[in-house]
């Protein structure tokens, strides 16, 4: 892809018209800079209130959020969003964001909150950058087990530090009943699955590894995606000093995520056909065939 085509694609990916459903006169206002100012302000409030790291204190003005949708985000008030947008406005002070401009775009606060949730999930809809790191780790000549350690560490650490991923976990747990949120979450899932599946396909090809006849690369990719999200979710829990090494979702000392690395190695060893051509279920069934007979 040429630089010009890439620039055009990046500009298209950054457009909001097809993403926002609640903006009044979306054809002219969805991609208006003022609209983005309000959404950026609300996104910062969301990240401060719902996507903090364990060491970051809460916003004292946010209060306790309650479910469902609009009650959960009630602390992201119109007045608070406008005030924050004014505070972070870097342009002409005579042309600051105003409440009337906000109200002209969103006739209801629930509409703004619905658009805000989708906007805050946008970074997770992009192609995951972790796969580029994974290619470097896998093909730089180190032993396969060490490469898996590094890939697992990079993925868990990067997602652990990603505010958008934290918001994704919150929204997936609490707001997935909303159709707009559910569609955004499915888009994230599809993008991540397809990108990692393509990486695994190429990795298996270059490593000369064939899979057993009853499993596919899709099975492998979905299994590891589910495992990875679970391990990253676990990594959000603050670690105590007495935590045993096996429970460390992120091991900075040894540069690995032991749980995810072990899952990846175990899946690879189980899925890989060593030449016997046996289905995975048959191999597993034979492990305890005599004991259970």
pLDDT of residue 57: 59
Does position 64 have pLDDT exceeding 60, yes or no?
Answer: no
Q: Are 83 and 98 in contact, with CB atoms under 8 Å apart?
A: no
Residues 96 and 147 occupy one common structural domain: no
Structural domain contains residue 240:
yes
Structural domain contains residue 2:
no
Does position 86 have pLDDT exceeding 90, yes or no?
Answer: yes
Does position 5 have pLDDT exceeding 80, yes or no?
Answer: no
Structural domain contains residue 230:
yes
Instruction: State residue 272 phi and psi, 5-degree precision.
Output: -70, 135
Cis peptide, bond prior to residue 68, ω within 30 of zero? yes
Q: At 254, which CATH number?
A: 1.10.357
Cα(86)–Cα(83) distance, integer angstroms: 5
Structural domain contains residue 290:
no
- Please give the residue that has the higher pLDDT: either 92 or 233: 233
- State which residues form the domain around 60: 10-122
Residues 33 and 132 occupy one common structural domain: no
Query: Over the stretch 15-44, which tens digit does the pLDDT of each residue have?
Result: 898 889 899 998 899 999 999 999 999 998
End-to-end CA distance of the chain: give it in Å, rounded: 60
pLDDT of residue 63: 46
Cα(82)–Cα(22) distance, integer angstroms: 17
Domain-terminating residue out of 103, 122, 141: 122
Residue 6: pLDDT band (50, 70, 90) is low
Residues 92 and 184 occupy one common structural domain: no
Give the residue among 37, 108, 41, 106 at the shortest CA–CA distance from 70. 108
Does position 126 have pLDDT exceeding 50, yes or no?
Answer: yes
User: Which pTM was predicted?
Assistant: 0.79
Cα(245)–Cα(251) distance, integer angstroms: 8
Of these ranges, 5-9, 92-96, 277-281, the one predicted with the greatest mean pLDDT is 277-281
The structure tokens 């703004």 sit at 112
Structural domain contains residue 243:
yes
Give the residue among 96, 104, 50, 53 at the shortest CA–CA distance from 73. 50
Total domains in the chain come to: 2
Question: Per residue in 101-115, is it b (16+ CB within 10 Å) or e — as a string?
Answer: bbeebbeebebbbbb
- Please give the residue that has the higher pLDDT: either 290 or 43: 43
Does position 11 have pLDDT exceeding 90, yes or no?
Answer: no
Residues 57 and 165 occupy one common structural domain: no
Query: Over the stretch 209-230, which tens digit does the pLDDT of each residue have?
Result: 999 999 999 999 999 999 999 9
Q: Are 105 and 82 in contact, with CB atoms under 8 Å apart?
A: no
10 Å CB burial of residue 266 (0-12, 13-18, 19+) is: exposed
Residues 143 and 274 occupy one common structural domain: yes
Residues 155 and 41 occupy one common structural domain: no
């Amino acid at each position: 892809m040429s630089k010009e085509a890439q620039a055009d694609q990046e500009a298209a990916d950054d457009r909001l018209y097809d993403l926002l459903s609640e903006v009044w006169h979306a054809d002219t206002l969805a991609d208006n800079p003022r609209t983005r100012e309000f959404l950026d302000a609300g996104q910062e409030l969301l990240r401060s209130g719902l996507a903090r790291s364990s060491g970051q204190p809460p916003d004292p003005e946010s209060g306790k959020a309650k479910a469902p949708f609009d009650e959960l985000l009630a602390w992201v008030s119109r007045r608070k969003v406008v005030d924050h947008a004014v505070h972070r406005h870097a342009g002409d002070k005579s042309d600051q964001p105003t409440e009337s401009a906000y109200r002209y775009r969103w006739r209801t606060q629930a509409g703004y909150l619905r658009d805000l949730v989708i906007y805050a999930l946008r970074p997770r809809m992009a192609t995951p950058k972790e796969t580029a790191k994974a290619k470097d780790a896998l093909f730089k000549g180190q032993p396969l087990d060490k490469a898996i350690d590094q890939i697992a560490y990079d993925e868990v650490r990067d997602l652990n530090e990603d505010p958008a991923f934290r918001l994704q976990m919150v929204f997936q747990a609490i707001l997935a009943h909303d159709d707009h949120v559910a569609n955004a979450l499915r888009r994230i899932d599809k993008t991540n699955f397809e990108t990692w599946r393509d990486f695994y396909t190429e990795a298996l090809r270059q490593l000369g590894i064939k899979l057993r006849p009853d499993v596919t690369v899709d099975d492998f990719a979905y299994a590891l995606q589910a495992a990875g999200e679970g391990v990253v979710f676990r990594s959000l829990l603050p670690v105590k000093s007495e935590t045993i090494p096996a429970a460390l979702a992120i091991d900075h000392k040894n540069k690995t995520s032991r749980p995810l690395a072990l899952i990846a190695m175990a899946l690879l060893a189980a899925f890989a056909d060593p030449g016997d051509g046996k289905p995975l279920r048959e191999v597993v069934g034979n492990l305890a065939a005599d004991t259970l007979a």
